[in-house]
Structure 1
Amino acid sequence: MRAKLTALLVGSVLGVLLIATGLSMLFLKQPNFARVDEAAATQISMLVDLATRTQGSLEEGLYGRIADAPAGGPQVRPMTDAINGVLTRRGHKLHVVVSNPADFDWPVISAPLADGRWVIMPLGIPMPGPQRSWALVGWILLVAVGVTLVMVFAVRRFTEPLALLQRTADAITPCSGLHPVAEKGPAEVRAAARAINQLAARLHQVMESRMRLVAAAGHDLRTPMTRMRLRAEFLGEEERAAFIDDLDELDGIADSAIRLVREEVEDGRGEALSLDAMVADTVAELRAIGYAVSLERASPVVIQARPEALRRALRNLFINAATHGRQARVRVEAVEGLGRVVIEDVGPGIPEELLPQVFEPFFRVDPARGAPGAGLGLAIAEQIVTRSGGSLILENMAVGLRQRVDFPAIGSGADLSEAG
Structure 2
Amino acid sequence: MCSPPRGLRHRHPPPSMSRPRFDSLLARLMLAQMLLTLAVGMLFAAWLAVARVRAAAAPYAQLWAANLSAAAVRPGGDDDSLASPGYPIHRSLTLPSGPLTFRLGFGPAAGYFEEQLAMHGVVVDETRLGWQGDVLTLWMHVLPPGRQAVWLGLPMPPVWPTWSGLNFALTLFILALVGGMSWTFARRVTRPLEQLRRRMALGAMAYAPHDSHDSADAPAEVLAMENDYNKLIARLRTAERERAMLLAGVSHDLRTPLGRIRLAAEMLPATPETQADLAIITRNVDHAGRLIGSFLDFVRAGSLPMDETVDVAAVAQAVVSRFERPVWELRLEIQAAERLVLHRANALLVDRLIFNLIDNAFKHGRAPVSVRLGHNGVALILDVCDLGDGLPGGTGAMLEAFARGDASRSVPGSGLGLPVVQQVVSRLGGTLQFTRGAAGHCARVTLP
Q: TM-score scaled to structure 1, two decimals?
A: 0.62
Counterpart in the other structure of 1:262? 300
CA deviations over 1:56-111 (Å, ceiling 9, x no partner): xxxxxxxxxxxxxxxxxxxxxxxxxx69xxxxxxxxxxxxxxxxxxxxxxxxxxxx
1:240 aligns with 2:278: yes
Counterpart in the other structure of 1:330? 370
1:204 aligns with 2:237: yes
Query: What is the correspondence of 1:2-401 to structure 2 with a 5 Å cutoff?
Result: 2-25=26-49, 28-29=52-53, 134=166, 138=170, 141-142=173-174, 145=177, 149=181, 153=185, 156=188, 162-163=193-194, 165-173=196-204, 175=206, 177-182=208-213, 187-233=220-266, 234=268, 236-268=274-306, 270-273=308-311, 275=313, 277-287=314-324, 293-295=329-331, 297-300=333-336, 302-304=340-342, 305-332=345-372, 334=374, 336-337=376-377, 338-351=379-392, 353-366=393-406, 369-397=409-437, 400-401=440-441
For structure 1, list consecutive stretches of 5 or more residues without a partner in the other structure. 38-81, 84-127, 409-420
Counterpart in the other structure of 2:118? none
The SS at the match of 2:388 is coil
Closer/same/farther in 2, CA of residues 239 and 399 from structure 1, 3 Å limit: farther
Higher Rg of the two aligned structures = 1
The SS at the match of 1:172 is helix
Preserved contact between residue 325 and residue 400 of structure 1 (Cα < 8 Å)? no
The SS at the match of 2:383 is strand
Q: Which amino acid aligns with 2:249?
A: A
CA deviations over 1:233-262 (Å, ceiling 9, x no partner): 448322122112212222222221221122
Q: Which amino acid aligns with 2:329?
A: V
Separation (CA, whole Å) in 2 of partners of 1:259 and 1:26: 78
Closer/same/farther in 2, CA of residues 177 and 344 from structure 1, 3 Å limit: closer
The SS at the match of 2:330 is strand
Return 319-328 or 390-399, whichever deviates more: 390-399
The SS at the match of 1:28 is helix
CA deviations over 1:204-242 (Å, ceiling 9, x no partner): 212212221211221222233233334434483221221
How many Å apart are 1:203 and its aligned residue? 2.0
Preserved contact between residue 205 and residue 428 of structure 2 (Cα < 8 Å)? no
Preserved contact between residue 283 and residue 293 of structure 1 (Cα < 8 Å)? no
How many Å apart are 1:285 and its aligned residue? 2.4
For structure 2, list consecutive stretches of 5 or more residues without a partner in the other structure. 1-24, 65-84, 87-160
RMSD over aligned Cα atoms: 4.1
Return 259-268 or 239-248, whichever deviates more: 259-268
Instruction: Say which structure, 1 or 2, has more relative contact order (CA 8 Å, 6+ apart).
Output: 2
How many Å apart are 1:135 and its aligned residue? 6.1
Q: Which amino acid aligns with 1:287?
A: E
Q: Percent identity?
A: 26
Q: Which amino acid aligns with 1:179?
A: H
Counterpart in the other structure of 1:404? 444
